[in-house]
């Protein structure tokens, strides 16, 4: 959902919100490379635009579920280093639109 209105200065301001009326979709992975997790994390910060995902041959039009937290994971490292090489328990949360 998007709404626009004029501010006191005359500028048009836009506000976007998710209307949560769709079906919840949760994807889970026990272990992913850190670069994969980072690209998904950056993608979820891009906004509320919808996109299509393919789950076992079935396509869904979805957006990230910001109400439930769109992505989570735990850094996995077997030794001390600057950044993890993998992330475990990766959970992606979507809602259909």
Give the pLDDT of the chain (97 residues) as one tens digit per residue: 667 777 778 788 777 765 556 899 999 999 999 999 999 999 988 877 889 999 999 999 999 988 888 999 998 876 666 778 899 999 999 999 8
| Residue 6 placed within a domain | no
In the chain, the number of structural domains is 1
Residue 7 lies in a domain: no
- Pairing assessment for the beta strands 51-55 and 71-76 based on DSSP bridges: unpaired
The confidence score (pLDDT) of residue 14 equals 72
Q: What is the pTM of this model?
A: 0.72
Residue 69 located in a structural domain = yes
Distance, C-alpha 61 to centroid of its chain: 13
Tell me the residue range of the domain where 71 lies. Answer: 22-96
Which two three-digit tokens encode residue 24?
A: 């919840």
Give pLDDT, residue 17: 67
Could you tell me if residue 15 is inside a domain?
Answer: no
Domain presence at residue 65: yes
Q: Taking a C-beta distance cutoff of 8 angstroms, is the pair 94, 63 a contact? A: yes
């Amino acid at each position: 959902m998007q709404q626009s209105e004029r501010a006191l200065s005359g500028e048009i301001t836009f506000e976007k919100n998710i209307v949560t009326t769709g079906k919840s979709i949760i994807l889970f992975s026990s272990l992913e490379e850190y670069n994969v997790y980072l690209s998904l994390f950056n993608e979820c910060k891009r906004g509320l635009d919808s996109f299509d995902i393919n789950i076992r041959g079935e396509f869904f039009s979805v957006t990230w579920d910001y109400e439930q937290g769109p992505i989570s994971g735990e850094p996995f490292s077997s030794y001390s280093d600057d950044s993890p090489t993998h992330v475990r328990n990766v959970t992606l949360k979507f809602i259909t639109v």
